[in-house]
Chain A
Amino acid sequence: MHHILVTGASRGLGLSMVEHLLAQGNIVLGCSRGKSPFSHKNYHHFEADVSNEEQVNDLFIKIRKSFKYIDVLINNAGVARMNAFALTPFKNMRETIDVNYAGTFMCCQKAISLLRKSTNPRIINMSTVAVPMNLEGEAAYAASKSAVESLTRVLAKELSSFSITCNAIGPSPIATDLIRGVGEEKIARLVKQQAIPKMAQPEDVLNLIDFFVKPESHMITGQIIYLGGIS
């Protein structure tokens, strides 16, 4: 039984993670900007915007008080707004960087002291195939996730002395809220470029989470694993 913190836990992939991890008997702490529609005896929800430093501080203070430590941090909170580069408002770019990169950065930083108390501490970040594919219309999103990938590799080195592994998952298109605004035709074209030309399922991401969390994965760090055979 682990203490696992999932950010962006109230819907989509984050909610699938919460349900999956609870089914394994873990204690799951989730956060999102609003309330969660979900309830379970081992689920504890916190309202926090990961792009807000003060709220992230408060989140970790509350977690420390109630749970003392965490074993796994899953930085799932993210925003994606597809738009042509020339038409992307500066504000949207800023928000994308703030949530996807700065939010991940702050949560990783605040989690170190709680993770150090675990015997198998893990950080799992979320990237995307939009990074290696350099997808058109995703300048802000892909750049924010590229930054998350660099962060993942650097933290793998800096946190190894605390036995904290840090890896990232890069899902190929999955039918979640995040890609709701992307046209079906565009998604079909993307999927066709994959070695495995199929839409991914949330279970494909959950499988990777299980892999990274396993104690046997203690030598796996600084890795970005993409679904669908993208490299």
Chain B
Amino acid sequence: MTHNEIQSLVFAALELTNQSREDDAQVPIASDTPLFGKQGHLDSMGLVALLIDIEDMLQDQDIHISLSDERAMSAANSPFKNVSTLVAHIDTLLKGE
């Protein structure tokens, strides 16, 4: 998958997330959107739901990776800090697959 394809997939997952959120709690669909941690739009369970949606979408394409990471809850270097770090994280995992 190319970087752009991964980003599109993350955007699609965020759109799914937004479907179950109130109008005033929508997550902006952009590469610099903070996801988790300081100023993040998602709480820990919101993040889990997003990651499961992404894993599901990847599985639909017969790609089986786990996005779990021991740095998940780290404020400094969580791969889930914002959309671009998440896209980079998925990219790294796919390359290592």
Where the two chains meet, the residues of A that have a C-beta atom closer than 8 Å to any C-beta of B are: 57, 61, 64, 112-113, 116, 158, 161-162
CB–CB B49/A162 < 8 A: yes
Interface size range of chain B in the complex: under 10
B45 at the interface (CB under 8 A from A): yes
CB–CB B45/A113 < 8 A: no
Q: How far is the CB of A212 from chain B (nearest CB, A)?
A: 22
Inside 8 A of A162's CB, which chain B residues have their CB?
45, 49
Inside 8 A of B49's CB, which chain A residues have their CB?
116, 161-162
**Would you list 11 pairs from A and B whose C-beta atoms are within 8 A, ordered by A residue?**
A57-B64, A61-B59, A61-B64, A112-B48, A112-B52, A113-B55, A116-B52, A158-B45, A158-B48, A161-B45, A162-B45
B56 at the interface (CB under 8 A from A): yes
Q: How far is the CB of B55 from chain A (nearest CB, A)?
A: 6
Complex: chain B residue closest to A65, CB-CB:
B59
Inside 8 A of A57's CB, which chain B residues have their CB?
64
Q: How far is the CB of B11 from chain A (nearest CB, A)?
A: 19
Q: A158-B45, A161-B45, A162-B49 are in contact. Are A113 and B56 (CB under 8 A)?
A: yes
Interface of A is mostly: helix
Q: How far is the CB of B67 from chain A (nearest CB, A)?
A: 11
Known: A113-B55, A113-B56, A116-B49. 13 other contacts (CB 8 A): A57-B64, A61-B59, A61-B64, A64-B59, A112-B48, A112-B52, A116-B52, A158-B45, A158-B48, A161-B45, A161-B49, A162-B45, A162-B49
Inside 8 A of A113's CB, which chain B residues have their CB?
52, 55-56
Inside 8 A of B45's CB, which chain A residues have their CB?
158, 161-162
Residue-wise, chain B 48-65 has the 8 Å CB interface mask toward A (1 for contact) of 110010011001000010
Q: Which residue, A61, A113, A158, has most C-beta atoms of chain B within 10 A?
A: A113
Complex: chain B residue closest to A57, CB-CB:
B64
Inside 8 A of B48's CB, which chain A residues have their CB?
112, 158
Q: How far is the CB of A29 from chain B (nearest CB, A)?
A: 17
Complex: chain B residue closest to A114, CB-CB:
B56
Compute how far the CA of A113 lies from the CA of B55 in the bound complex, rounded to whole angstroms. Answer: 9
Compute how far the CA of A161 lies from the CA of B49 in the bound complex, rounded to whole angstroms. Answer: 9
Compute how far the CA of A96 lies from the CA of B64 in the bound complex, rounded to whole angstroms. Answer: 28
Q: How far is the CB of A54 from chain B (nearest CB, A)?
A: 11
Compute how far the CA of A37 lies from the CA of B12 in the bound complex, rounded to whole angstroms. Answer: 44
Complex: chain A residue closest to B46, CB-CB:
A161
Inside 8 A of A64's CB, which chain B residues have their CB?
59
Compute how far the CA of A57 lies from the CA of B63 in the bound complex, rounded to whole angstroms. Answer: 12
Complex: chain A residue closest to B44, CB-CB:
A158
